[in-house]
Structure 1
């Protein structure tokens, strides 16, 4: 897969204190297989679906132990320039741009409401080798209590156009790259406990949402929402046994009319 346009979700990884437990869980729920851990890069371990790279897991670095969380990376042709835009628009750089061998350059940042994300300037590693299929990244949404801040920030940093859903029941918008939706943004309501910070929720495709939820909960995951039918697919939100939030979606099972955005 070629280098993605600026702002495209291009990779996802997560830190787990129990990497072997995470590998076992996601293998059973999403059908992933795993490559060899790269000791040169902190035992970073890639996950594969049908032999194609779809994500990675890694143990925490010293001092970073804590609750596990998925991190979404957005493509950039120049990570240092993107870091400057992040600072200029009220975001925070959590980890300065860092070359990862010949694979590329990464940084970690947060938007003004605290949602953490990564930026990836591709080298030899161009990102997802498979998307929008079972076992692979399907979608992502910024969950924030301050959607106006996210709505100003992300289109200022990346070449997004922001479109809001014409539905009074939800404060939802989509950041688009041309005609292609890249990232969603949803206001966190009362269903989110106040201690839950803003975050980016990553969706992975599955062949059967209900079966995936059943497998996940039997392995110790917590069902947070759903399963629910939608025009985009049948989906559910979960927290894995180590606390990392993610969603699963069966994109082949759709119901209802697509909402309007403007």
Structure 2
């Protein structure tokens, strides 16, 4: 399917009230160029990196959604249901393939995509492109078996002292570990606000995290976690000028910087506002959003962002020390 193994992130899009405003924001922040239409693909040096989708219904969320590769989307949606998740919409044939939206047992929304070679990300892991995704979850006993059953991930625990506070996922058939990881799960602990739901956060690689933060602020977005050093790079969490949350990662350029950051930041914490992006636990609201998403998808011929409810801002504390991206 498009050259991506099952369970690998293969696409990301964002639902926005104003696509033109989104093009101005992300065009200046990441240097992206855009196609036309209500589902506008973004390009870096001519290669597809993401898409901006116009909201057709005010009930639909303003949110980034990550899509995982599904060589057999019918089988995968079946595993979602049998493992305790919900298929929010689809599988739906669209212009380039077949898509679906699903929610895990805690309500975190993600996409599934089955398409031919050449669809999905044209580039990733490069500056100004997708590089990582994390699931924020409250109950590992619920979500860990779900993702293992649906995608058959191999897992590696990278929390303190090898604990499972942070778990990274490797596609089936690969040797589990940081070198093969394509995403991960981090626990929402007591330091986070109680109203924060389970959700996915999408990361983009940047050459300068601090410059990205300054640009986001200048363009009318918000910085929820200021640029912070971790053992894996310098990261920050933002929302765009319409409220969609995302994160950025800057790699360390000097050998030894990661080790120095790991030592200096082992106990560090950073206060920031959290705009939780997804909550499909409310079945009636999810169904309403799914109906709107299906109608919008049929019109524009491609995937939609997650069916979810946006919460207001809340203060939280994030423990520093998680991988932003693993090559």
User: Structure 1 pair 250/183, CA: closer, same or farther in 2 (3 Å)?
Assistant: same
Query: Quick one: distance in 1 between partners of 2:141 and 2:164?
Result: 14
1:53 aligns with 2:48: yes
**8 Å contact kept, 1:140–1:203:** yes
Aligned CA-pair RMSD: 2.3
TM-score of the pair, normalised by structure 1: 0.90
Q: Map 1:50-199 onto structure 2 (within 5 A).
A: 50-62=45-57, 65-101=59-95, 103-123=96-116, 125-167=118-160, 171-177=165-171, 178-179=174-175, 180-199=180-199
Equivalences, count:
254
Which structure carries more strand by proportion? 1
- What secondary structure sits across from 1:255 in the alignment? helix
Corresponding residue number in structure 1 for 2:201: 201
Corresponding residue number in structure 1 for 2:259: 256
Which structure carries more helix by proportion? 2
* Runs of 5+ consecutive residues of structure 2 not aligned to the other structure: 263-320
Corresponding residue number in structure 1 for 2:13: 13
List structure 1 runs of 4+ shifted beyond 6 angstroms.
257-261
1:246 aligns with 2:241: no
Query: Quick one: distance in 1 between partners of 2:152 and 2:121?
Result: 20
Query: Quick one: distance in 2 between partners of 1:252 and 1:29?
Result: 20
Corresponding residue number in structure 2 for 1:40: none
Q: CA deviation at 1:21?
A: 1.1
Q: CA deviation at 1:30?
A: 1.3
* Runs of 5+ consecutive residues of structure 1 not aligned to the other structure: 38-42
Q: CA deviation at 1:191?
A: 4.8
By relative contact order (CA 8 Å, sep 6+), the higher-ranking structure is 2
